[in-house]
Amino acid sequence: MKPMLPFTRPTIDEETLQEVLEVLRSGWLASGPKVKAFEAALSDYFGGRPVRTQTSATASLEHALLLCGIGAGDEVIVPAMSFVATANVVARVGARPVFVDVQLDSRNIDLDQVEAAITPRTRAILPVHFAGLPVDVDRLYAIAERHRLRVIEDAAQAIGSSCRGRRIGSFGDLVCFSFHPNKNITCIEGGAVVGGSPEEVRELELHRFHGQVKSGPDEVDTLFAGGKANLSDVAACIGLGQLKRLEEFTTRRRALAARYFERWAQDPPLRLPARGEEGHNWHMLTALLPLERLRLTRRQFIEAMAERGIGVGVHYPAMHLFSAYRAMGYHEGQFPNAERIGRETVTLPLFPAMELADVDRVVEAVTDILRGTTR
């Protein structure tokens, strides 16, 4: 019996584990020198732009919205298909998420439909670089400039990606990254906001620790009711070790993705995602099941793969069909591409520790299962 092949798994080396032990022994576990070092390393990676970390990309996105003064009565344009945090953060600051359909193969927000969704209440566009495939940022920012809107990029899946030779995060307005365990680099949990004016960077620091400022060893003031989302030194230590290997991880992911496309170059049994340009970091490889031609459901496909020792994910359901957003008036039939993706999507294994033979194993299993159940 071959070992279970999950759809993703983090790679944390022994050197990083030993450095974590040193942090634990130091007694400085909350935000401290490792957080400062991690933020400095990220800033260097993004060409010197300011970086402030948080405990999750969800917190990063929410804080970015607050920086922009977005709240009750405002609207923010978001894709209809993403992890639900993309819309939740908008609702949490009191604004309304305005959904726009996505492109079927890139899974990215359909920029052809964005301008039609802009109203006098629109304050920002919040695009997602889905699976690390960059949105057309030049066109995106042209739309935003034309309508005087802020852009908050949900780059949770896009560290290591680039668009026309420029690293995602090295330019643009406010760009938010995730260091969740299933991302291309991890802090176990963590996020970061890249960009912002000096005043906005200072406000980010306030939002992540209670809105407090200290003016002396015994003097403190609270400027507003901030939350708590400061990264720990333990998490930052892991992030430093991961960042050193980001290019290595990205190169490996691209090789694994290329193997999938090579093996399925002719007559693939499912619909593969857009390959994009060379700057794609291949955070995930999501494909669509041709359910209308199959005699099995997606659940049955996932179970059949599990029987062969292969894990499959689902990324993601269409957000507007969740109860929270149906309650806002959204309904089935509004965003057909997002809804089709939500019904048909499956995420196949892709992570740096995989071998090319693992890709072959997945391809053979998928092909055998689907071609044996085609109507």
Last residue of a domain, one of 220, 244, 268: 244
pLDDT tens digits, one per residue of 84-112: 999 999 999 999 999 999 999 999 999 99
Task: Tell me the sheet residues that pair with 212.
Answer: 222
Question: Would the pLDDT of 331 be above 80?
Answer: yes
Q: Is residue 2 included in any domain, yes or no? A: no
Omega before 316 cis (within 30°)? yes
Residues 22 and 60 in one domain: yes
Axis crossing angle, helix 85-92 with helix 57-67, rounded to the nearest 10: 40
Residue 366 lies in a domain: yes
Among 244, 278, 305, the domain boundary falls at 244
Domain finish residue from 229, 244, 259: 244
Domain of 112, CATH number, reads: 3.40.640.10
Closest CA to 68 of 224, 209, 212, 195: 195
Positions annotated as catalytic residues are 183
Same domain, 173 and 285: no
Cα(first)–Cα(last) distance of the chain, in Å? 30
User: Do 215 and 72 fall into the same domain?
Assistant: yes
| Structure-token match 């090789």, residue found | 255
> Are 243 and 38 a contacting pair, CB within 8 Å?
yes
Count of domains observed in the chain: 2
Q: Do 207 and 157 have their domain in common?
A: yes
- In this structure, the answer to whether residues 233 and 297 fall within a common structural domain is no
Asked whether 260 and 285 are in contact (CB, 8 A), the reply is yes
Provide the sign of the torsion angle of the four alpha carbons 131, 136, 141, 146, taken in this order: negative
Q: What is the mean pLDDT of residues 316-343?
A: 98
- Res. 279 pLDDT band, cuts 50 70 90: very high
Confidence at residue 348, expressed as pLDDT on a 0 to 100 scale: 98
* Rounded mean pLDDT, 59-84: 98
Boundaries of domain holding 236? 14-244
Average pLDDT over residues 39-59: 98
In a domain, residue 6? The reply is no
Rg (CA), the chain: 21
Residue % of the chain over a pLDDT of 90: 95
182 and 266 part of one domain: no
Same domain, 233 and 272: no
Instruction: Give the mean pLDDT of 136-141.
Output: 97
Mean pLDDT of 148-174: 97
Residue 264, domain CATH: 3.90.1150.10
Q: Do residues 121 and 49 share a domain?
A: yes
Q: Do 107 and 341 form a contact (C-beta atoms < 8 A)? A: yes
Check whether residue 230 and residue 258 sit in a common domain. no
- What's the whole-number mean pLDDT along residues 275-301? 95
pTM: 0.97
CA-based nearest residue to 248, from 168, 164, 185: 185
Average pLDDT, whole number, for the chain? Answer: 97
3-state secondary structure of 88: helix
- Which is it for strands 174-178 and 150-154: parallel, antiparallel or unpaired? parallel
Same domain for 201 and 320: no
Say if residue 228 is in the same domain as residue 360: no
Identify whether residues 88 and 199 lie together within a single domain: yes
Q: What is the pLDDT of residue 375?
A: 67
